[in-house]
Structure 1
Amino acid sequence: MTRPHVRALALAAVASLALGACQPAHTPRTGPEGPGSLTRGIDAAEYVRDYESAAAGDSAGSVSESAPRSASAGAPPPLAQPEGRGRPRQPEPGPLEDNTFREAGTSGFVDAGTDAASTFALDVDSGSFGVARTLLAQGLVPPAASIRVEEWVNAMPYADPAPTDADLGVRTEAVAAPGSEDTQLVRVAVGAREVTPADRPRVNLTLVVDRSGSMDVRERLGLVQSSLALLADRLREDDTVSLVSFEDQARPLLAPTPVSETERILDAVERLTPGGSTHLEAGLALGYDQAREAFDPGAVNLVVLASDGVANVGATGPGSITERIAEEGAEGIHLVTVGYGMGNYNDHLMEQLADLGDGFYAYVDTFEEAERLFGSDLVTTLTPVAAQARAQVRFDPEVVEGYRLVGYENREIADEDFADLDVDAGELGAGHRATALYEVRTAPGVAPGTVLGEAEVRWRPVGVGGAGSGDGRATSPIVTGDPGAAPSSDLALADAVADLALLVKGQRPVADPTLTLGELRNRVQVLADRDVRGAEELLEMARDAVAVVPERLVVD
């Protein structure tokens, strides 16, 4: 396969980096480019294009089984794979076949007089949103069990300012629900402080890549290769990358290597050819071994699992390596899971592994999404700033009759454990945003401006440049909005994406029980016309949902 970048351009980029004149990286979700952003001129998209060509039988795009061109000295010999590209493939499962999802349930209204506090771990997973986007775009209805509403809400970009005087900050806003005199929509927004690329610590990144036969379905492995090439393009020269692959067994493909040695990293990426069964547990175990061997207490130490989550050799459930993942997370090696492909995909396993490893779970279905995650979001949020992060919303039962937290069903924490930071919760990295929505029923006669309660977040500071000392705490009062006031763009966007998730799941929003998908699409169109960030993507999903989700699926 032709090297997926122009050598002359890459060499020129490296030379310019040495002189400090690097080209800024495009960061579509994280705002203005920060000092230290860079690109090496690698054409990462070439990998997935070549993979698609090979899948179509284009011999020019097939992978050579010989050693890669200009492979670095000491590179391991090539891996012969019985089921690699260029050979006939097995029948591919359809996008809705052989997937594993786990129903998280749906929260109902809570009587504030009986239980006035709502407590949950903060979460920035977005995998459920990515899965639904993929299926809806293909004209398919996402299974109800695949929809976790909070992951849809947290997939949207919001304009909340990052805190500057603390690791985390919390803001609240409320607005009267349309057509309801006694229901308020409340948004609780938590933001993590930002760390510029120039100021962040060095990164020790261990990539654990599934190259089993199931990763040869469509262009999954090519998309993984493009994702890894994006990291090679955007990480700093003093960052370190390791690569472990697994199929029937786990294999080390690249020892810890500075990103400045870009050619060695790309040589290892090119050696990822598919074939064999899936021994995910062995891959993660070897990945953690390699990450622990290269561990640097002054760096960010991270394991990234790229897989479809289908384990069929060794222990295959999320509990199989639970203890190791949890221990390593507590000792400073965090786990990010990135899912690829629909059809023979295990969403539940990927989500649970990320939760165990104090990381987050994302889903990649296109090169554009890979570029957004690996070329921008992951690079800028690698630095953890808050561990064991959790939120508690306490309502005043004198003015609130009941409330409902939308989503977060599998992130609940006992109210009495809120102040105990030894109880496992979530972790937020630099620039992360976490949002929660509540539907709140007020007592009769509650006037605008009444304080309904208070939102509080607590966390344990981690990483460099932390604000203050000791465990962190931030609060914000929740105040009723005026009946005629319009919601902010952020609240309107969060409300729309939550309503879309509920309707696609087959449920109706409590605050607007007669809402239809067509009406929701029109609401999102208004946001898109106002150029609200994220609204265009949401509008496309709403249009797809109108086309494929029968209204009869939506139950009262």
Structure 2
Amino acid sequence: MKRIIYLIMLLLGLTTFNSTARTIRGSVYGTDDKKPIPGVAVLVKGTNILTSTDLNGQYAVVTKEEKIVLLFSMIGYEFQQVEVKKSNTIDVWLQPAKTSLQEVVVMGYQTQRKQLLTGSVSILSGSAMAGRVAGVQIRGLATVPQDRESYKGIVENGFLNPVKEPLSTFAIDVDQASYSNVRRLINQGQLPPKDAVRTEELLNYFHYDLQGPLNQDPVAIHTELSSAPWNPRHRLLRIALKAKALKTEQLPPSNLVFLLDVSGSMEGPNRLPLVKASMKMLADQLRPEDHVAIVTYAGTAGLKLGSTAGDQKTKLKEAIDQLEASGSTAGGDGIKMAYQIAREHFIKQGNNRIILATDGDFNVGASSDEDMEKLVANEKNSGISLSVLGFGMGNLKDSKMETIADKGHGNYAYIDNISQARKAMVTEFGSTLFTVAKDVKIQVEFNPGKVQAYRLIGYENRLLAKEDFNNDEKMGGDMGAGHSITALYEIIPAGLKDNFSSSVDPLKYQKPKDGIFNNTSSEIVTVKFRYKNPDSKKSHMQLATLNDAPTPLSKTSDDFRFASAVAEFGMLLRNSEYKQQSDFSSLISRAKAARGKDDEGYRTEFITLAESAKLLSKNNEIALNEK
């Protein structure tokens, strides 16, 4: 009997030993310029373990196998296959591609999805990758299918007549998820679905050189006016807000609840392991006066760790390391428990916030977008914010996560690699977690003596009725410490013939009143914005006026020209009916010239991303023409 028990224990020990995971790390460089390459797809052959290199060209994959083959692919570079044996550090040098994107050959996709290739070069399936990403040959490439991802439909803003619609009103949006998701899709070799492209989130991904408030106000306003690069006869107006920055010692104490999805859909290196790494990064930023509880959910919700002081980092990290993915997804129950725990440890005049990390793929109990909206909206007056970190690919429920963050007085970021986790958890720690102005709304009045028509670029999901601006019961967006917001309006000057101003036949039963407006004013717009202090229910208003005196585009700030390039990029990705003369080459050139100070490398990464999208777009046109 003892011998049998001994054999069983020996077998269990061997099983445990063989299942020990190993992390393989390394960097990817280009042989042409000897520099690291961001965005390289790294796949473990024969599996769905897929990641990409960060801004420094570094990658990490987790596997339980002793011998594996890593496949490296990037638009514009030759595909490379590397066998990994004992070493856990593998650096790779990629050769520039000798073939052009037009020479792509695609094989190995499912027959029923073949028609989708006209919209994307690499919507493919299978379990083995033995070929190359867009730019070189592809034979059986396994990118993660996107058919289970969901995005909220966007009806793009059109041009409005200021005589009939003099006011444009919207809530600000500090979310950045769309940009990192778009980056992920392009780096996988496919153009994003147009509803995945929220232009305001592309614009607000980047840091801008803006002056914060010089007085006690929490937010400062800036404006700039020039010509629109995609139609020089039109004007482009930039409105920017900058929240005051706070030093770490000035930040209020935090009552945080990490709400972590540990369901089966979170299994995989770009899901739960990345969640763990992100949460440990955040734990490193916490102070002794901060407290964190950890709630997890799969088939049911449970309390993994009670509220713990922020200086007990070992205890926090040990609880995070113990997490494993399995089971179904009772996201609604998890949210309810997280609010309950946050209420139990509520800090008056503190930062009370839930941080939800999930792919949004809820399937037990309340699970629809509408269910989540009602559940979170019921807590709008609780004083507890809910921010969302999205993970995963293939089953990403972007629409659900955006809804949760919008209704939860929080922000939404998509984490596709460790570099993005560092940006959200470390670089932007204050702006991510600490609100300095809540319910921020913007209302712009256009002077019809100067403006024939105007169009807000983006913010379609944040539009408000004009009456909502003065109604303190209507929610706006929240700004964290140091946050900046950019909004762009395209303006058709008065008297200019154009293709966008609509007309209707004269009315039969009534005559419209003659337009009466101040033609003598030199002002083109008045910009107003409202905000509440974090602990107040009453809003404050500020305003600024701007004269119709556009600065030549070449004389505008680097930020203005770079933001215009990002907006143009968004219009091209969406194939906007308002893109006019938009052009990848033009926006890339302008972005390069306006790169300015780029310590973190995000603007450089954008230029690379736009160049990849240009190649993919060209190939897409060829596919459509051939069809």
- Pick the TM interval, shorter chain: 0.7 to 0.9
Is the aligned partner of 1:147 residue 2:197?
A: yes
Residue 323 to residue 179, structure 1, CA distance change in 2 (3 Å): closer
Q: 2:555 aligns with which of 476, 486, 500?
A: 486
Is the aligned partner of 1:283 residue 2:327?
A: no
SS in structure 2 at match of 1:549: helix
Matched AA of 2:437: A
- In 2, Cα distance between the equivalents of 1:179 and 1:321? 39
Matched AA of 1:525: K
Matched AA of 1:100: S
Q: 1:392 aligns with which of 437, 443, 450?
A: 443
- Whether contact under 8 Å (1:167, 1:192) holds in the other structure is yes
- In 2, Cα distance between the equivalents of 1:194 and 1:426? 18
Is the aligned partner of 1:502 residue 2:549?
A: no
Matched residue, 2:123: none
- Whether contact under 8 Å (2:231, 2:581) holds in the other structure is no
Matched residue, 1:462: 534
Matched residue, 1:539: 607
Matched residue, 2:465: 414
Matched residue, 2:185: 135
Q: 1:477 aligns with which of 542, 545, 552?
A: 545
The answer to which structure, 1 or 2, has the higher relative contact order (CA under 8 A, 6+ apart) is 1
Matched residue, 2:317: 266
Residue 485 to residue 306, structure 1, CA distance change in 2 (3 Å): same
- In 2, Cα distance between the equivalents of 1:173 and 1:329? 35
Matched residue, 1:69: none
- In 1, Cα distance between the equivalents of 2:321 and 2:419? 20
- Whether contact under 8 Å (2:411, 2:432) holds in the other structure is no
Matched residue, 2:483: 432
- Whether contact under 8 Å (2:270, 2:391) holds in the other structure is no
- In 1, Cα distance between the equivalents of 2:194 and 2:226? 29
- In 2, Cα distance between the equivalents of 1:219 and 1:194? 32
Residue 515 to residue 298, structure 1, CA distance change in 2 (3 Å): closer
How far 1:171 sits from its partner (Å)?
Answer: 1.1
Matched residue, 2:423: 372
Structure number, greater radius of gyration: 2
Residue 514 to residue 2, structure 1, CA distance change in 2 (3 Å): closer
Q: 2:160 aligns with which of 104, 107, 110?
A: 110
- Whether contact under 8 Å (2:372, 2:403) holds in the other structure is no
How far 1:289 sits from its partner (Å)?
Answer: 1.2
- In 1, Cα distance between the equivalents of 2:560 and 2:543? 19
Residue 531 to residue 337, structure 1, CA distance change in 2 (3 Å): closer
Compute the TM-score of the two structures, normalised by the length of structure 2: 0.71
- Whether contact under 8 Å (1:54, 1:60) holds in the other structure is no
How far 1:182 sits from its partner (Å)?
Answer: 4.1
Gaps of 5+ in 2: 1-19, 24-57, 69-84, 88-126, 129-141, 497-517
Matched residue, 2:10: none
Matched AA of 1:356: K
Note the 1:97-496 alignment, pairs <5 A: 97-165=147-215, 166-178=217-229, 182-444=233-495, 450-463=522-535, 471-479=539-547, 480-483=549-552, 486-496=555-565
How far 1:527 sits from its partner (Å)?
Answer: 2.4
Identity %: 30
Cα displacement string for residues 326-348 of structure 1 (whole angstroms, at most 9, x for unaligned residues): 23332210010010111011000
Matched AA of 1:53: T
Matched AA of 1:315: A
Cα displacement string for residues 15-38 of structure 1 (whole angstroms, at most 9, x for unaligned residues): xxxxxxxxxxxxxxxxxxxxxxxx
Cα displacement string for residues 114-147 of structure 1 (whole angstroms, at most 9, x for unaligned residues): 1111000011011111110111111111111111
- Whether contact under 8 Å (2:425, 2:432) holds in the other structure is no
- In 2, Cα distance between the equivalents of 1:219 and 1:534? 21
| Mean CA deviation greater in 172-181 or 426-435 | 172-181
Matched AA of 2:331: L
How far 1:54 sits from its partner (Å)?
Answer: 3.7
Residue 518 to residue 428, structure 1, CA distance change in 2 (3 Å): same
Matched AA of 2:151: F
- In 2, Cα distance between the equivalents of 1:57 and 1:215? 24
Matched residue, 2:593: 526
Q: 1:550 aligns with which of 612, 618, 624?
A: 618
- In 2, Cα distance between the equivalents of 1:275 and 1:341? 15
- In 2, Cα distance between the equivalents of 1:423 and 1:295? 24
How far 1:178 sits from its partner (Å)?
Answer: 4.2
- In 1, Cα distance between the equivalents of 2:475 and 2:538? 18
Count of residues in correspondence between the two structures: 479
How far 1:522 sits from its partner (Å)?
Answer: 2.2
Matched AA of 1:160: L
Matched residue, 1:87: none
Matched residue, 2:101: none
SS in structure 2 at match of 1:431: coil
- Whether contact under 8 Å (2:229, 2:564) holds in the other structure is no
Cα displacement string for residues 211-252 of structure 1 (whole angstroms, at most 9, x for unaligned residues): 111111343111100001001111112211111111111111
- Whether contact under 8 Å (2:143, 2:188) holds in the other structure is no
- In 2, Cα distance between the equivalents of 1:379 and 1:3? 34
- Whether contact under 8 Å (2:257, 2:292) holds in the other structure is yes
Matched AA of 2:608: E
Cα displacement string for residues 416-472 of structure 1 (whole angstroms, at most 9, x for unaligned residues): 22111111221112111111000011124999x942011110011115xx9xx9632
Matched AA of 1:394: E
- Whether contact under 8 Å (1:101, 1:347) holds in the other structure is yes
- Whether contact under 8 Å (2:182, 2:197) holds in the other structure is yes
- In 2, Cα distance between the equivalents of 1:318 and 1:300? 26
- In 1, Cα distance between the equivalents of 2:273 and 2:613? 28
- In 2, Cα distance between the equivalents of 1:289 and 1:60? 48
- In 2, Cα distance between the equivalents of 1:261 and 1:313? 34
Residue 93 to residue 344, structure 1, CA distance change in 2 (3 Å): farther
How far 1:547 sits from its partner (Å)?
Answer: 2.0
- Whether contact under 8 Å (2:218, 2:244) holds in the other structure is yes
How far 1:56 sits from its partner (Å)?
Answer: 7.7
| RMSD (Å), alpha carbons | 3.1
Cα displacement string for residues 140-176 of structure 1 (whole angstroms, at most 9, x for unaligned residues): 1111111111111111111111113211221111012
Matched residue, 1:9: none
Cα displacement string for residues 396-434 of structure 1 (whole angstroms, at most 9, x for unaligned residues): 111111100001111011012211111122111211111
- In 1, Cα distance between the equivalents of 2:343 and 2:286? 20
Compute the TM-score of the two structures, normalised by the length of structure 1: 0.80
SS in structure 2 at match of 1:198: helix
- Whether contact under 8 Å (1:182, 1:443) holds in the other structure is no
